[in-house]
Structure 1
Amino acid sequence: MSETVPTLREELLPSFDAPGDSPYTWLRDMAGTLRDHLLVHGAVLVHGLPMDGPDSVATAREALGIARHTPTEAFNDRGDFGDGVLSPITWPGERMLCPFQEGSFSRTFPSVVLTACLTPPDGDGRTHLSDTRRLLDHLPAPLAERVRTTGWTLARTFHEGFGITWRKAFSVPDRAALEELFEAAGISAEWLPGGTLYTVRRRPGVVDHPVTGEECWFNQISFLNAGNLDPAERAIMVKAFGKYLPMNTYSGGGSPFSDDDLAAILHAYDSVRIDVAWRRGDLLITDNIIMAQGRSAFEGTPEFLVALGEDQSPRPGSRGREPEGDR
């Protein structure tokens, strides 16, 4: 992403200091206040919690009154510590992670994400938050309207011996269970030679927030597009898999996004970005519809845990309806 775009000051993100005595009782008492801040600011940072493992993250989620969310599909192989506590998605520490919203390729997704810092990164590695309510104003009008009207398409291919298997991605034991899941999830599928599974699903690219009614950019168009792969790695992928790349995104009608489209989306994320520096014991609470999360390159061996909460689906009749294709 461009380094010349000014970012918002970290101080604009509301932050609170948990007391040393009875921090989870304090968190329970503060739950309503923190939720109010989420709806206004999209994220809240709490310092000084005893975040030392999966149990502490689950305790914090319960203190906040947030119901756990179980994903219906995994992007890649991430650690599962039970009780709804996960590792962050697997991503090389030396690479920047483009902002994305958890589960935005699924019909049911989490509306809240808790990120706990057990060990902060060395140096100045930071999480990037991008306010999706403001992002649309920073996109070229034709691109914004195209995504608003037609949504986006994710094509995902599972190749035997490469990446996560479809059984693990969807947590199913066999094809019969997979077909049942696909019918409920609105995913079309085709079996290719060699046991390769090719899937396609269309999703809304812009949704209305279920509480505030605000229009929010909600997709992984940029994050999962092959055009944002390292050029050398993309060339290897294309040579190995042809058009059936492990991941790629298109418009709702199936037409490709151009390099200019992808650059514009990345620029828009940067234009509304807030940088979050980490301390040991921090808990970042984000509204998953309002805020997309990414990060800079991380140094050292940082440790984070993630808890996804509260099932949500696009509201019928809103901009969150599933689009029918290009118009």
Structure 2
Amino acid sequence: MSNPKTESAWAPRIIRPADAGVSASPEGLAEYLRATDPGDLLVESRAVVFRGFGVSGDSYDGVADLLLPDRLAYVHGNSPRTKVGRNLYTSTEYPAEFEISMHNEMSYAHAWPSRILFFCDIAAATGGATPVVDGKLWLDSIDPEVREAFQAGVRYTQNLHDGMGFGKSWQATFETDDRAETEAFLDRAEAEWSWLPDGTLRVTQVRQATLKHPVTGTEVWFNQADQWHTAGLGEDAAAMAEIVPEDELPQNAYFADGSPIPAEYITHVQEVGMKMAVNVDWEVGDLLFVDNVAVAHGRRAFTGQRRILVAMS
């Protein structure tokens, strides 16, 4: 495969109190946001860091409500998270020593958040940056052979256990214990689903591999095949795949027609995304506001304590 481009000319915009012409306080940031259209801000910059405003857990809601007026629950999310506030979650609970590859949040689903807001409550001792990548740059940097192979889309499969097993349960995934409510959600999502004898919920969805931005029309790489495919999930997933039948794995990804995706394609997509990414190195109180279609995000490995919270709209 050809080598990807080596650098990105784009980086998130950083707005400090002096840039906004307001006081270095949560109230100052709120004043700035009331006079600014967040949608216009994202179309122009794609991702914005608000730094130096002293936002804390106590003042978070007042600021977040101006950026995300209608926060979404993380229903049908596949990442391990804990709900800690009003549709506010830990950003991920994967072990600190692992990187998380680039992705657009819930791009495997029938609907996804258009905006994401990250908040740094505790910064890592070392590492722990949130890398972000321009989705058009990522798409353009992927080998043409791979892009062509994904043209018809991605088929995602899930086996969500009934409370005991590998991966997430269907109750945690859909934030309900009600089967009928879950079934109705999946029907609205035009997903295929079935209940297995042991209570496992099997879900299959065919989704897009690329997407055109609803405002700019720019086409971007927009799928999570590499985060569902065993080749993209590290040694533990590879070991699981050796002992668990393929159709019983917690999750997997195929081409739209159900044919297997070569492992080297998955590795290539991940490596290109991480290589083209720009790190956002956290300071306590930072807010990172992201256009979830235009920009993908991930996580660098870290040491020490790290607490990044996330909300979506």
- The two structures have a TM-score, normalised by structure 2, of 0.88
Inter-partner Cα distance in structure 1 for 2:88 and 2:227: 23
Q: How does 1:238-317 map to 2 (within 5 A)?
A: 238-309=242-313
Name the CA shift for 1:235/1:277 in 2 (closer, same or farther; >3 Å): same
Q: Which position in structure 2 is the counterpart of 1:142?
A: 145
Shift of 1:96: 0.5
Shift of 1:67: 2.6
| Aligned mate of 1:125, from 122, 125, 128 | 128
Q: 2:127 touches 2:301 (CA, 8 Å); kept in 1?
A: no
Inter-partner Cα distance in structure 2 for 1:78 and 1:124: 20
1:83 aligns with 2:86: yes
Secondary structure, in 3 states, of the residue corresponding to 1:39? Answer: helix
Inter-partner Cα distance in structure 2 for 1:135 and 1:211: 19
Q: 1:75 touches 1:89 (CA, 8 Å); kept in 2?
A: no
Inter-partner Cα distance in structure 1 for 2:128 and 2:241: 29
1:68 aligns with 2:65: no
Q: 1:7 touches 1:275 (CA, 8 Å); kept in 2?
A: no
Q: What amino acid maps onto 2:157 in structure 1?
A: A
Shift of 1:170: 1.2
Q: Which position in structure 2 is the counterpart of 1:154?
A: 156
Q: 1:135 touches 1:271 (CA, 8 Å); kept in 2?
A: no
Shift of 1:25: 2.9
Q: How does 1:206-245 map to 2 (within 5 A)?
A: 206-245=210-249
RMSD of equivalent CA atoms: 2.3
Inter-partner Cα distance in structure 1 for 2:183 and 2:67: 36
User: Which deviations, in whole Å up to 9, do the C-alpha atoms of 1:53-79 show, x marking residues without a partner?
Assistant: 2x5332222223643223331214422
Q: Which position in structure 2 is the counterpart of 1:24?
A: 29
Inter-partner Cα distance in structure 2 for 1:192 and 1:234: 24
Shift of 1:266: 1.4
Shift of 1:305: 1.0
Inter-partner Cα distance in structure 1 for 2:256 and 2:246: 21
User: Which deviations, in whole Å up to 9, do the C-alpha atoms of 1:149-205 show, x marking residues without a partner?
Assistant: 311111011234123211221123332222222111111112334222221001111
1:190 aligns with 2:194: yes
Q: Percent identity?
A: 26
Shift of 1:207: 1.1
Q: 1:27 touches 1:64 (CA, 8 Å); kept in 2?
A: no
Inter-partner Cα distance in structure 2 for 1:124 and 1:71: 26
Q: Which position in structure 2 is the counterpart of 1:98?
A: 101
Inter-partner Cα distance in structure 2 for 1:182 and 1:99: 26
Inter-partner Cα distance in structure 2 for 1:137 and 1:152: 18
User: Which deviations, in whole Å up to 9, do the C-alpha atoms of 1:90-141 show, x marking residues without a partner?
Assistant: 2111111111111212212110000000111112331111111111111121
Shift of 1:233: 4.2
Shift of 1:241: 4.4
Name the CA shift for 1:123/1:30 in 2 (closer, same or farther; >3 Å): farther
Q: 1:121 touches 1:300 (CA, 8 Å); kept in 2?
A: yes
Shift of 1:246: 0.5
Secondary structure, in 3 states, of the residue corresponding to 2:85? Answer: coil
Secondary structure, in 3 states, of the residue corresponding to 1:154? Answer: strand
Inter-partner Cα distance in structure 2 for 1:31 and 1:251: 42
Q: 2:80 touches 2:94 (CA, 8 Å); kept in 1?
A: no
Q: Which position in structure 2 is the counterpart of 1:314?
A: none
Secondary structure, in 3 states, of the residue corresponding to 1:110? Answer: coil
User: Which deviations, in whole Å up to 9, do the C-alpha atoms of 1:232-261 show, x marking residues without a partner?
Assistant: 542234413443210111111111111221
Secondary structure, in 3 states, of the residue corresponding to 2:53? Answer: coil
Q: Which position in structure 2 is the counterpart of 1:13?
A: 12
Q: 1:31 touches 1:65 (CA, 8 Å); kept in 2?
A: no
Gaps of 5+ in 1: 310-327
Q: How many residues align?
A: 302
- The two structures have a TM-score, normalised by structure 1, of 0.85
Q: Which position in structure 1 is the counterpart of 2:20?
A: none
Q: 1:221 touches 1:250 (CA, 8 Å); kept in 2?
A: yes
Secondary structure, in 3 states, of the residue corresponding to 2:131? Answer: strand
Q: 2:132 touches 2:279 (CA, 8 Å); kept in 1?
A: yes
Inter-partner Cα distance in structure 2 for 1:290 and 1:143: 20
1:200 aligns with 2:199: no
Q: Which position in structure 2 is the counterpart of 1:323?
A: none
1:56 aligns with 2:55: no
Bigger mean CA deviation after superposition, 227-236 or 196-205: 227-236
